[in-house]
Amino acid sequence: YVVGEHGDTSVALWSSVRVGGVPMLQPGQAPSDLHRAMHREVVDSAGDVIRRKGYTNWAVGLTGAYIAKSVVKDQRNIYPVSTCVRGMHGITEDVFLSIPCSLGAHGIRRVVNVPMTEQEVGEFLRSAETVWKVQEGIWDSI
């Protein structure tokens, strides 16, 4: 999964990646430069698509359709969606970040607690802080 905000401070949870049931990283192994480059390419890809065709609507539309189907049919599929992460890893503010959640007829049925390494938790907290800095002034005005 990729968690956090949708962009520069998103966090690739390499420690949770399995290929054929085999962990991509061994316990305690840090992501390599190749892993970081792959994540950077994903983060930068929206800008590349926009430069080439002017918009990114196909992926957004397809994702919206999958989410809608999961809700309408109460499928309880797991998707990374934005929800309040107050309480996760010591976050005290009402910050909304993308994390894996089971979606059904009543919306988010549960948050899936994907284990994170210390490094991933640190990056997740930095993502939360980045989003909080953008939104904190809004809470005082509502």
Query: Would you give the DSSP letter of residue 16?
Result: G
Distance, first Cα to last Cα, the chain? 33
| Tokens (6 digits) for 25 | 């990283």
User: pLDDT tens string for the chain (142 positions)?
Assistant: 999 998 899 999 999 999 999 999 988 889 999 999 998 988 878 778 778 887 777 878 999 999 999 999 999 999 999 999 999 999 999 999 999 999 999 999 999 999 999 999 999 999 999 999 998 888 778 7
Task: Give the residues across from 97 on adjacent strands.
Answer: 83
Amino acid at 78: I
pLDDT for res 18: 93
pLDDT for res 123: 96
pLDDT for res 28: 85
Cβ neighbours, 10 Å, residue 27: 7
d(CA 6, CA 96): 11
Q: Which of 6, 39, 89, 106 is catalytic?
A: 6
Pairing between β-strand 96-104 and β-strand 107-111 as defined by DSSP bridges: antiparallel
Tell me, yes or no, if 89 is annotated catalytic.
Answer: no
d(CA 135, CA 32): 33
| Tokens (6 digits) for 70 | 């999961």
Q: What is the largest CA-CA distance in the chain?
A: 50
d(CA 46, CA 58): 11
pLDDT for res 50: 79
pLDDT for res 93: 94
